[in-house]
Amino acid sequence: MTATTIHGIPAASRGSHRRTWATWGAILLIPYIAVFLVLVAYPVGYGLYLGANPASYRRLFADPIFLTAAVNTILFLLIAVNVKMLIALGLSGFFAVPRWWIRLLLVLFILPWAVPSIPTILSFRVMLNPETGMINQQLFQLFGIFEGPPWLTSPWLAFFGAVVVHIWKSLPFWTLILLTGRLAIARDLYEAAAVDGASRWQRFRFVTWPSVAALYVTSTILSTIWTLGDFNSVYLLTGGGPNDSTQVLATLGIRYLRNNNLDLGVASIIVAMPLILPLVFVMVKRLSKGGEA
């Protein structure tokens, strides 16, 4: 065997095989690259091009509705995400109890997340109608309240109604995520804590929380990113009203587009990037480290 032969295969032949496989690998990547360029790079690049005009941002910042939408977005994130994740953490402990009837309740609990958003949120809109809605009619029949709360015509009631709808819709998903984290904890840890006389709160503090803290933080970051782009909860329930008082950044862009202000619509999306990019960076960094707290 000569020095240029390895395992009976000449070195020149092995190099030719490598080049052939590299060529086929490049050919097979072409469809994926084309899809990326057409569906990702082009829309993003075109959007950045449309939003590159400084005059668009001056008009956007001068619009009082933009300030309302920006404040509403921050409030929506702070309230919806934190309340949702805290409730999900508590419910995950309830559904972790091994009882057959709790499993049945879990199936029913998942339904709001599983059903389509449009009919469910529109049903909330019908029920909250101040004049003909089922809720005000029940208040009249049960308690004699002739004029119920203006659920969709009061800015604050409409805004918090959208928050409640968002929490109701997405809560089952995050409860399942945290429930999975809880079920991965070894039962021996709880049994040892019970033998040591630990209370329920102490078992949560020293056993449950250290085990699910990293998952909770990661889920909260991901939930914030998704909530920032939640369009359905506000648009389908309030339409941004009354008088654009419940607009958020996710719905403001559509308002501009419907008014044929394409540059303002793109600009309203781009100004949300300072909120999204740091969250995405932290998320990717945590995932690269295995979700460490």
Q: What is the largest CA-CA distance in the chain?
A: 101
The answer to whether residues 38 and 129 belong to one domain is: no
Q: Look at residue 284 and tell me if it is in a domain.
A: yes
Q: What's the pLDDT score for residue 51?
A: 66
Question: For residue range 243-285, what is the model confidence (pLDDT) as tens digits?
Answer: 999 999 989 988 888 888 888 888 888 888 888 888 888 888 8
- Digit-coded pLDDT (tens) for 78-105: 999 999 999 999 999 999 988 889 999 9
Long-range contacts of 183-187 (CB under 8 A, 24+ apart): 183/96, 184/211, 185/211, 185/212
Instruction: Note the Cα 201 to chain centre separation in Å.
Output: 29
Task: Give per-residue pLDDT as tens, 125-180.
Answer: 999 988 888 888 888 788 877 788 899 999 999 999 999 999 999 999 999 999 99
Distance CA 239, CA 231 (A): 10
Counting Cα atoms < 13 Å in the Cβ hemisphere of 98 gives 2
The two tokens of residue 235 are: 């648009």
- For residues 164 and 199, membership in a common domain is answered with yes
For residue 8, is it within any domain? no
Asked if residue 6 is part of any domain, the answer here is: no
Are 162 and 40 found together in one domain? no
